[in-house]
Amino acid sequence: MTQRFTLTVDGKSHTINADPDMPLLYALRDDLGLNNPHFGCGLAQCGACTVQIDGQAARSCITAVSTVGDAKITTLAGLGTPEKPHPLQTAYIEEQVPQCGYCINGWIMTAAAFLRDKKKPTEAEIKDALSGLKCRCGTHISILKAVKRAAEMMG
Amino acid sequence: MTKFEHSSAFTRRSVLLGGGALVVSVGAAVSLDTLLSLQAAYAQGAKPPLTPDQLSSYIAVNADGTVSAFFGKMDMGHGLHVAIAQIVADELDVPFKSVKVFMGDTANSVNQGGASGSTGIQYGGKQMRIAAAEARRVLVEMASALLSTPVEQLKVNDGIVISGADATKRISYAQMIGGKYFNVQLDWNKQFGNTLYAPGKAQPKKPSEHKIVGQPIKREDVGPKVFAQEDFVTDVKVPGMVHGRMIRPAIAGAVPVKIDESSIKDIPGAKVVWDKGFLGVVADKEWGAIQAAQTLKVEWSQVDSPFPEQSSLYDHIRKASVRKRSVDKENGNVDDAFKTAAKIIEAEYEWPFQSHASMGPACALVEIKDGQVTCWSGTQKSHFVQEGLALTLDVPVDKVRVKYTPGAGSYGRNDADDCAMDAGVLAKSVGKPVRLQYMREQGTGWDPKGPASIHKARAALDASGKITAYEFTSKGFSRIDVNTNGGKPHDTLAGQTLGVALKSGDGFGVPAESYAFDNKRMAWETIAPLLDRASPLRSAHLRDPVGPQIHFASESFIDEVAATVKADPIEFRLRYIKEPRDIAVIKAAAEKANWDTRVSPRRDQSGNKVSGRGIAYSQRNGTRVAIVAEVDIDRSSGKIWARKFTVAHDCGQIINPDGLVKCIEGNIVQGVSRTLWEEVAFDRKSVTSVDWLTYPILDITETPAEVNVVLINHPDIAPSGAGEPSIRPIAAAIANAIFDATGVRIRRVPFSPDRVKSALS
């Protein structure tokens, strides 16, 4: 049976009817029509579906929609805009990071939560924070450059 | 045809009146006949047929002066479209920003082969260059008549043709043809695909005249990606669309014999599509389709487990009957030379099945409306998917449009083409547009695999340690058990599950290098697939098809011989390599890496953590790459950190150096991943690598600390490819570095910690 849920996504409120067990990913993509995050594995192994829930990076592919409650959900689109980009988005463009770009949500949303809480991280700390995320095109070198660049921008 | 503007600012009336857009100097002797004949000859409102012999199939000048380039290949993440725009802009003398490249839409581009063999620039760019040059020639000729000025006195700046003698005599491309189609015949070689070539009368510019080619121009599609504004194929939606999922058997080769459709009756819109071995479901919502695929009760046919134990894979290859043998290169008398050898060195190397394991499993959307089939796909080869859909759905090919839409990464014949066909079958069956996305276990478990293989190398040495004979033979599964595109139903899961006659192809390859040995033979042998129909281990192209496996073996073996004769690995290679460009990349890599000339292995290390350096080199369709790898090894854990790479890369003329470096970096990291971690696991029933835990790839914590790229630019040598060559020598460079560090030779990929630890103990 479906239930009614109200989700706050990127500052806007949306009401949907959904199976309580349905992962948040499908609410965002199908019910709200957002083009991000992406389905990568459905197993919380890759990060392509990452959003922030109350500021914490979360894998929306295994987050049941019923567990979100009134928490604030932020997607990549809500992190920044071309007019007001998040430093990671600026750094990603400067470093020309993505190849296919399908993995972006995981890296940027996870790194954004990390850099907010950790100023001036070492390279080892950055790597540890991002460990487990997947990029199949092998853009790891550019990802690390971009996160370091964003870390500098964020002081 | 998005972005193409049909409105014309250049009407017959405006020409006749000499006003409006036209600026023709007073008194210019342009007859009406000239103008009208020019119109008929070069510009027209009705679109000429979309055939390779029409200039309009590649280039259009829009009413606003922008240029559309219609490209029958597509970018797979390396920024190919940027390079193509640079080439077109340079030849046309228009600003880079005014060129927009449309890729891989069968409705507005001809079949240039899709993304294929790193030929985006090598062949695709060559055609776009010659087409743009012809467009410029025609436009200048038109301007010459309109301005009553000889062609030789005209120059072009930013799409405006100007008289060198009288700058008031000027006319823009847009004024002459903007919004109309070129009506210019090209001299097409009657080839489709990579080899398609259709020049006009124009000669392309000399490299010394290039202004935009060679510049490090950035990709404009990065912004939309990081702001989540770009549509991937997974994001496309059409009205009335339903969601599909496919169901695969637990034992490969089994087919459904009984379905209980009532098991999914509570899921809104749930419907089963079952025909022979083809089994899928659709539902109104995506979550519903996923649940339906998981819930549907299916009884499968009883079949024998099709696969050997994974541990006996290489024995299977060794013992299997040879289906096809090909000696691709031979000189001298190899057999006689081995008989008189003072010493013979032999070794055998093994490479596993590997998965494309794209970041997301494939997705496609197929809409069938009024007899017209439209497919959105992340395929590398949309024109072949167009043909495949026509055959699979039994409709004329001109009733099928495939719109390439970027997918979740592609490194060859991944699961994209299978998905497009499956989506087509579902859409035809349910009479609604179907968006099909595979699940992760299907993306990794059921994509066509890079073939597993063994490689035997032997060298005959004379008493002085000189190689007098060399033989290299690969034996493995075919790179084209299923072909590199989904153009034929026998090459896709849909066709195979629906029962079409099979047609497994035979192909492999031999090392690409320039070692000059007096007696040399290089051959390959293919064997039959383990399961001939709808197999999760069917083999096909995976980035640099069979290149990594072949050169892992051949470049490891050269190192083994060098060590045997106690020669420095680079010095030894240079005794035999003859091609000057090959020598140059090796020397460039060595110099940049500050190569320590000595015999491997090192003798100066003890303790648990040791380091080593290794070299490997190869050619690939004109491109040359040499790689020095520096690795650290933890002997107790067996863990390898491929810490530093120095890559010297020569692909002829460089179109965009920054894009090229990014492309190479991706090759290196993916190559390290393939070398250290990747191996498709399977049991007797099916593939058991079904996610990122069972098919691990390189983690960010294992990223090389440095990848230093030395680009060798040859502006006067036509560009060759860069999308794959630098993944080719990586495994050997790492293997050679491990040997240098430890004295232990590892001849089986991947170099996972367990394997390394056991090899070192």
CB < 8 Å & 24+ apart, contacts of B13-22: B15/B39, B21/B172, B21/B174, B21/B175, B22/B146, B22/B171, B22/B175
Confidence of residue B399 (pLDDT cuts 50, 70, 90): very high
**How far is the alpha carbon of A59 from chain B, nearest alpha carbon, in Å?**
15
Does residue B21 register a pLDDT over 80?
no
pLDDT in tens, B486-528: 999 999 999 999 999 999 999 999 999 999 999 999 999 999 9
Computed over every residue of chain B, the mean pLDDT equals 94
From chain B, the residues in CB contact with A82 under 8 A are 223, 227
Does residue A149 register a pLDDT over 80?
yes
pLDDT in tens, A10-56: 999 999 999 999 999 999 999 999 988 999 999 999 999 999 999 99
Q: Are residues A13 and A73 in the same domain?
A: yes
B328: enclosing H helix or E strand = strand B324-331
Rounded CA-CA distance B689/B683 in Å is 10
Q: Are residues A9 and A66 in the same domain?
A: yes
pLDDT in tens, B478-488: 999 999 999 99
Average pLDDT for B633-648:
98
Q: Given its phi and psi angles, is residue B510 left (phi above 0), alpha (psi -120 to 50 degrees) or beta?
A: beta
Q: Which of residues 332-351 of B touch A (CB under 8 A)?
A: none
Does residue B472 register a pLDDT over 50?
yes
Q: Are residues A71 and A22 in the same domain?
A: yes
Q: What single-letter amino acid sits at B156?
A: V
Interchain CB distance below 8 Å, B76 and A141? no
Q: What single-letter amino acid sits at B178?
A: G
**Residues 6 or more apart whose Cβ sits within 8 Å of residue B629:** B613, B614, B615, B616, B642, B644, B645, B730, B733, B734, B736, B737
Does residue B28 register a pLDDT over 70?
no
Confidence of residue B368 (pLDDT cuts 50, 70, 90): very high
- Helix residue ranges, H only, B148-194: 173-177
Q: Are residues A97 and A147 in the same domain?
A: yes
Q: Are residues A64 and A106 in the same domain?
A: no
- The pLDDT score that the predictor gives to residue B491 is 98
Place of tokens 């649940």: B291
CA B457 remoteness from chain centre? 28
Q: Which of A79, A103, A121 is the last residue of a domain?
A: A79
Confidence of residue B44 (pLDDT cuts 50, 70, 90): confident
**How far is the alpha carbon of A136 from chain B, nearest alpha carbon, in Å?**
6
How crowded is the C-beta side of B431, counted as CA atoms within 13 Å?
A: 1
Residue A115 structural domain: 87-153
Q: In what order do the strands lie in the sheet with B372-377?
A: B271-275, B278-283, B242-246, B434-437, B363-369, B372-377, B400-404
Interchain CB distance below 8 Å, A26 and B667? no
Does residue B284 register a pLDDT over 80?
yes
Interchain CB distance below 8 Å, A138 and B227? no
Asked whether the beta carbons of B493 and B421 are under 8 A apart, the reply is yes
Confidence of residue B47 (pLDDT cuts 50, 70, 90): confident
How much is the CA Rg of chain B, to the nearest whole Å? Answer: 28
From chain A, the residues in CB contact with B690 under 8 A are none
Nearest to B697 among A18, A41, A134 (CB): A134
Going by C-alpha positions, the residue among B35, B40, B52, B39 that lies closest to residue B185 is B52
The Cα-based distances of A103 to A97, A135, A137 in angstroms read 11, 6, 9
Average pLDDT for B620-627:
98
Does residue B22 register a pLDDT over 50?
no
Q: Are residues A112 and A74 in the same domain?
A: no
From chain B, the residues in CB contact with A46 under 8 A are 359, 692
Rounded CA-CA distance B393/B498 in Å is 12
Q: Which two tokens stand for residue B642?
A: 């491929």
Confidence of residue B36 (pLDDT cuts 50, 70, 90): low
Going by C-alpha positions, the residue among B402, B410, B224, B700 that lies closest to residue A47 is B700
Q: Which two tokens stand for residue B612?
A: 């080593």
Nearest to B287 among A19, A81, A128 (CB): A19
- In angstroms, how far apart are the furthest CA atoms of chain B? 92
Q: Are residues A61 and A107 in the same domain?
A: no
CB contacts < 8 A, A to B, total 176
Does residue B638 register a pLDDT over 70?
yes
Average pLDDT for B621-649:
98
Q: Are residues A112 and A140 in the same domain?
A: yes
- The pLDDT score that the predictor gives to residue B32 is 60
Q: Which of residues 66-105 of B touch A (CB under 8 A)?
A: 76-79
Q: What single-letter amino acid sits at B496?
A: Q
Q: What single-letter amino acid sits at B366?
A: V
Confidence of residue B34 (pLDDT cuts 50, 70, 90): low
Interchain CB distance below 8 Å, A97 and B658? no
pLDDT in tens, B131-176: 999 999 999 999 999 999 999 999 999 999 999 999 999 999 999 9
Computed over every residue of chain A, the mean pLDDT equals 97
Q: Are residues A137 and A74 in the same domain?
A: no
Q: Are residues A18 and A71 in the same domain?
A: yes
Give the total residue count for chain A: 155
User: Strands B639-650 and B623-634, how do they pair?
Assistant: antiparallel
List domains and CATH numbers for chain B.
Answer: 12-215 (3.30.365.10), 234-303+356-445 (3.30.365.10), 563-760 (3.30.365.10)
- The pLDDT score that the predictor gives to residue B360 is 98
Q: How many domains does chain A have?
A: 2
- The pLDDT score that the predictor gives to residue B670 is 98
Q: Are residues A12 and A59 in the same domain?
A: yes
Average pLDDT for B216-225:
95
Q: Which residue of A has its CA nearest to B357?
A: A136
Interface test with B, best of A140, A142, A145 (most B CBs within 10 A): A140
Confidence of residue B274 (pLDDT cuts 50, 70, 90): very high
How much is the CA Rg of chain A, to the nearest whole Å? Answer: 15
Tell me, what CATH number does A125's domain have?
A: 1.10.150.120
**What is the DSSP secondary structure assignment for residue B576, as one 8-state letter?**
H
pLDDT above 90 covers a percentage of chain B that reads 93
Tell me, what CATH number does A7's domain have?
A: 3.10.20.30
User: Strands B400-404 and A50-53, how do they pair?
Assistant: unpaired
Average pLDDT for B285-292:
98
pLDDT in tens, B527-568: 999 999 999 999 999 999 999 999 999 999 999 999 999 999
Helical packing angle, B126-147 and B32-42, nearest 10°: 170
- The pLDDT score that the predictor gives to residue B14 is 34
**What is the DSSP secondary structure assignment for residue A117, as one 8-state letter?**
H
Q: Model-level pTM?
A: 0.95
- The pLDDT score that the predictor gives to residue B10 is 35
Average pLDDT for A144-149:
98
pLDDT above 90 covers a percentage of chain A that reads 97
pLDDT in tens, B664-720: 999 999 999 999 999 999 999 999 999 999 999 999 999 999 999 999 999 999 999
Q: Which of A20, A44, A79 is the last residue of a domain?
A: A79
Does residue B20 register a pLDDT over 70?
no
Q: Are residues A114 and A66 in the same domain?
A: no
Q: Which residue of B has its CA nearest to A65?
A: B287
Q: Which of residues 386-425 of B touch A (CB under 8 A)?
A: 406-411
**ipTM score for this prediction:** 0.98
Interchain CB distance below 8 Å, A135 and B359? yes
Average pLDDT for B208-212:
98
Q: Which of A55, A79, A103 is the last residue of a domain?
A: A79
- The pLDDT score that the predictor gives to residue B610 is 98
Rounded CA-CA distance B114/B430 in Å is 30
pLDDT in tens, B67-79: 999 999 999 999 9
- The pLDDT score that the predictor gives to residue B37 is 73
User: Quick check: B359 contacting A, CB < 8 Å?
Assistant: yes
**Residues 6 or more apart whose Cβ sits within 8 Å of residue B214:** B653, B654, B655, B656, B657, B713, B715
From chain A, the residues in CB contact with B360 under 8 A are 38-40, 48, 102
Residues β-bridged to residue B127: none
Going by C-alpha positions, the residue among B594, B605, B560 that lies closest to residue B742 is B605
